[in-house]
């Protein structure tokens, strides 16, 4: 699809009639000879003179058009690239304001770890935001949407290709502490629904960034499973494992009582791809984010927004060329006449 | 006139130089007026009261507020930045840090469209606290935007001790902006919505906290609490605006005290272009007028 030509300052097109001036003007630089009859007739010279007037007229017209700022309007073009539609579903509960293990936790004695984590470990939500911001910046072909969740789902940015807006959504997650409750089931149901009414275009992912689990009731499980199946959405869970928090892979029947393990086991029963990444430290988190980046690189049909293209410079260049010819011609004319 | 430099001989070369300048001139930082806002919407249930009319149809307070803001966005000069937040329970939560309005108009509208009571994360409506949290958000989000706080002022549970004191960490007048009072003057019943967003009757007198002296209270009805909001505005150092029509908001948002002078990359090529145009026209104009001058001189 190509957009029509439009003008940012169409009112300045009113200057166009000025282009007629050189056509009516008399040559100012003509020498005044006492008797024109003495001069030989010069059809070539007359032609050149006419041409130069035409050039001057065109130059004026080109400048007037450039002032009106012509351009091709913003358009949307279908394109096929590699990438995915990623919905970042970020836990905005208070526990996300807690700290995770510091980078050098392996060198700490078991006795120190707890204290060191509490005093200088990076805050989970902040570490996650920084990595997500970086992730988004490095994936220009993906479409991103951002939602927060606590007791309800807070839609922040619907799918967009404007990085700056996605970044502004991620940044907003850093303003003040989180909310008190979490309802991951409700958040997943409403997030899957975000893909409804969007043309299926390759790969769809919900990237759940959360530090807690939940035991979901049967209705919620059914709704989530149906939603993921219908919308063909893959689920990646970056589980920000706090110090002393349960391991998702904990074995045994009894572990089912642990909300995180229960949620993980339920996710494994989903009909669509599921990956869990357990991140204890910023390094784990970075590795998880990088891995998500590698996983999804399917061809993606999408509409690319082509920004408005300004053509003013073309007209300025045209005017410049014409005026340069006029300047040279004038010099040659005068030089030749003396 | 047969000897020496013909007058106006410098016109064309100068025009030439100006055109070269126009081609090479990059956008330069230039002080321009812009307006930065963090717009916070009350998404509690009383904002669902439909006491506005738009195009002949009744619309809710929240819908009208959002429509007013989206209309105002188109009137803001490019370079202005707007962020969005929601208030429910006792605090405001930032959803979108401020972004530039011209480049991201579509995205702002899309996010604005989604701010509704389905996002509500708590049932209470402590407007004063929500406003104070919003002040914190505007203060901490960077670039010090002004605040726009859209609310009907309906406190639930009701405040019986007058206007509460500001949080200790905020100074009065530290953040500037507008408390935008939304809603009609006639108290109306508040529609109930269940978790899935379906309308489900209205709140009854016995279902809400009536506060002191319940027999004489009607906290289940809601109108614009202008006096309360004006008191809150006075306490926080904000200004108060009653939202009566859409144009009123846009005008208030573009009032001089709300503006910021900021250097923005500005395309100034019109300047050399305009001058070049003048020079290009001067040569033929002179020749057209010259005979008249000459005649007059004789």
Q: Is residue A137 part of a domain?
A: yes
Q: Is residue A36 part of a domain?
A: no
Q: Is residue B197 part of a domain?
A: yes
Q: Is residue A59 part of a domain?
A: yes
Per-residue model confidence as pLDDT tens digits over A215-265: 888 899 999 999 999 999 989 998 888 777 788 887 777 777 888 888 999
A172 and A194 co-located in one domain: yes
A184 and A323 co-located in one domain: no
Between CA A176 and CA B60 the distance in angstroms is: 29
In this structure, the number of other CB atoms found within 10 A of the CB of residue B13 comes to: 16
Per-residue model confidence as pLDDT tens digits over A266-286: 999 999 989 888 887 777 778
A17 and A140 co-located in one domain: no
- Quote the domain boundaries for residue B55: 30-263
User: In a 3-state reduction of DSSP, which class is residue B151?
Assistant: strand
A68 and A102 co-located in one domain: no
B231-247: average pLDDT? 92
Q: Do B13 and A327 touch (CB under 8 A)?
A: yes
Between CA B19 and CA B15 the distance in angstroms is: 6
ipTM above 0.90, yes or no: no
Residues of B in contact with A27 (CB under 8 A): 287
Question: Which of B23, B94, B107 has the CB atom closest to A157's CB atom?
Answer: B107
Between CA B206 and CA B187 the distance in angstroms is: 17
Q: Is the pLDDT of residue A33 over 70?
A: no
Q: Is residue A129 part of a domain?
A: yes
- Quote the domain boundaries for residue A53: 5-29+43-73+308-337
User: Between A and B, how many CB-CB pairs are < 8 A?
Assistant: 165
A281 and A330 co-located in one domain: no
Query: How far apart are the CA of A147 and the nearest CA of chain B, in angstroms?
Result: 9
Between CA A51 and CA B31 the distance in angstroms is: 44
Helices A163-172 & A124-137 angle (0-180, nearest 10): 180
Q: Is residue A37 part of a domain?
A: no
Q: Is residue B298 part of a domain?
A: no
**Burial of B215 (C-beta count, 10 Å sphere; 0-12/13-18/19+):** exposed
A331 and A188 co-located in one domain: no
Q: Is the pLDDT of residue B250 over 90?
A: yes
Per-residue model confidence (pLDDT) at position A104: 72
Region of poorest pLDDT, from A65-79, B93-107, B264-278: A65-79
Question: Which of B1, B280, B286 has the CB atom closest to A59's CB atom?
Answer: B280
Question: Scanning the structure block, which residue is given the tokens 């379906």?
Answer: B198
What's the total number of domains in chain B? 1
Q: Do A164 and B99 touch (CB under 8 A)?
A: yes
What's the total number of domains in chain A? 2
Per-residue model confidence (pLDDT) at position A73: 79
Q: Is the pLDDT of residue B30 over 90?
A: no
A107 and A256 co-located in one domain: yes
Per-residue model confidence as pLDDT tens digits over B137-170: 999 888 889 999 999 999 888 887 778 888 878 8
- Tell me the sheet residues that pair with B34: B260
* Mutation site for B-interface testing, chosen from A9, A96, A316, A326 by largest number of B Cβ within 10 Å: A316
Q: Is residue B268 part of a domain?
A: no
Q: Is residue B194 part of a domain?
A: yes
Q: Is residue B147 part of a domain?
A: yes
Q: Do A320 and B16 touch (CB under 8 A)?
A: yes
A68 and A82 co-located in one domain: no
Q: Do B83 and A168 touch (CB under 8 A)?
A: yes
A167 and A141 co-located in one domain: yes
pLDDT bin (cut points 50, 70, 90) of residue A28 is very low
A208 and A293 co-located in one domain: yes
Q: Is residue B249 part of a domain?
A: yes
**Sign of the dihedral defined by the CA atoms of residues B210, B212, B215, B218, in that order:** negative
Residues of A in contact with B37 (CB under 8 A): none
Q: Is residue A179 part of a domain?
A: yes
* Mutation site for B-interface testing, chosen from A168, A314, A329 by largest number of B Cβ within 10 Å: A168
Residues of B in contact with A169 (CB under 8 A): 95-97, 111
A25 and A137 co-located in one domain: no
CATH of the domain at B67: 3.40.50.410
């Amino acid at each position: 699809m190509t957009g029509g030509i439009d003008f940012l300052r169409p009112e300045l097109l009113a200057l166009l009639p000025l282009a007629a001036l050189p056509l009516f003007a008399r040559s100012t630089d003509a020498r005044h000879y006492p008797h024109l009859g003495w001069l030989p007739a010069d059809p070539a010279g007359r032609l050149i003179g006419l041409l130069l007037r035409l050039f001057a007229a065109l130059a004026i017209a080109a400048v007037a058009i450039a002032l009106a700022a012509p351009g091709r309007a913003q358009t949307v073009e279908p394109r096929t690239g590699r990438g995915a539609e990623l919905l970042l579903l970020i836990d905005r509960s208070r526990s996300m304001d807690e700290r995770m293990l510091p980078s050098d936790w392996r060198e700490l004695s078991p006795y120190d770890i707890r204290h060191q984590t509490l005093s200088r470990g990076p805050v989970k939500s902040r570490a996650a935001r920084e990595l997500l911001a970086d992730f988004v910046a490095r994936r220009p072909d993906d479409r991103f949407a951002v939602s927060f969740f606590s007791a309800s789902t807070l839609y922040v940015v619907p799918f967009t290709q404007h990085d700056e807006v996605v970044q502004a959504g991620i940044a907003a997650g850093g303003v003040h502490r989180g909310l008190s409750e979490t309802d991951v089931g409700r958040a997943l149901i409403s997030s899957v629904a975000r893909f409804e009414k969007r043309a299926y275009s390759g790969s769809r992912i919900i990237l759940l960034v959360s530090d807690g689990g939940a035991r979901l009731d049967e209705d919620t499980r059914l709704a989530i499973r149906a939603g993921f199946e219908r919308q063909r959405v893959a689920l990646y869970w970056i589980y920000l494992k706090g110090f002393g928090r349960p391991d998702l892979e904990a074995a045994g029947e009894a572990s089912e009582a642990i909300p995180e393990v229960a949620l993980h086991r339920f996710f494994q029963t989903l009909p669509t791809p599921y990956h869990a990444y357990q991140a204890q430290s910023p390094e784990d988190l970075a590795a998880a984010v990088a891995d998500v980046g590698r996983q999804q690189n399917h061809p993606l049909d999408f509409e690319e927004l082509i920004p408005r293209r300004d053509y003013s410079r073309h007209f300025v260049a045209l005017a410049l060329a014409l005026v340069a010819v006029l300047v040279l011609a004038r010099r040659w004319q005068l030089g030749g006449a003396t | 006139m047969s000897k020496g430099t013909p007058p106006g001989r410098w016109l064309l070369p100068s025009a030439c130089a100006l055109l070269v300048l126009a081609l090479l001139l990059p956008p330069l930082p230039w002080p321009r007026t812009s307006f930065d806002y963090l717009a916070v919407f009350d998404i509690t249930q009383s904002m669902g009261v439909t006491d506005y009319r738009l195009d002949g149809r009744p619309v809710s307070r929240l819908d009208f507020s959002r429509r007013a803001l989206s209309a105002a966005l188109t009137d803001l000069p490019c370079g202005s930045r707007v962020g969005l937040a929601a208030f429910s329970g006792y605090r405001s939560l930032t959803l979108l840090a401020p972004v530039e309005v011209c480049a991201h108009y579509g995205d702002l509208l899309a996010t604005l469209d989604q701010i509704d009571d389905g996002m509500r994360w708590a049932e209470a409506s402590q407007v004063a606290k929500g406003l104070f949290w919003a002040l914190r958000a505007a203060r901490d989000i960077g670039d010090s935007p002004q605040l726009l706080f859209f609310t009907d002022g309906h406190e639930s549970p009701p405040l019986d001790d007058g206007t509460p004191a500001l949080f200790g960490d905020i100074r009065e007048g530290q953040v500037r902006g507008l408390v935008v009072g939304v809603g009609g003057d006639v108290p109306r019943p508040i529609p109930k919505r269940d978790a899935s967003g379906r309308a489900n009757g209205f709140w009854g007198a016995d279902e809400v906290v009536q506060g002191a002296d319940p027999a004489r209270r009607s906290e289940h009805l809601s109108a614009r609490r202008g006096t309360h909001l004006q008191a809150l505005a006075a306490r926080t150092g904000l200004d108060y605006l009653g939202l009566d029509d859409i144009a009123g908001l846009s005008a208030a948002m573009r009032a001089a005290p709300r503006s910021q002078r900021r250097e923005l990359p500005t395309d100034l090529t019109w300047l050399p272009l305009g001058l070049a145009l003048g020079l290009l026209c001067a040569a033929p104009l002179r020749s057209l007028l010259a005979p008249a001058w000459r005649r007059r001189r004789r």
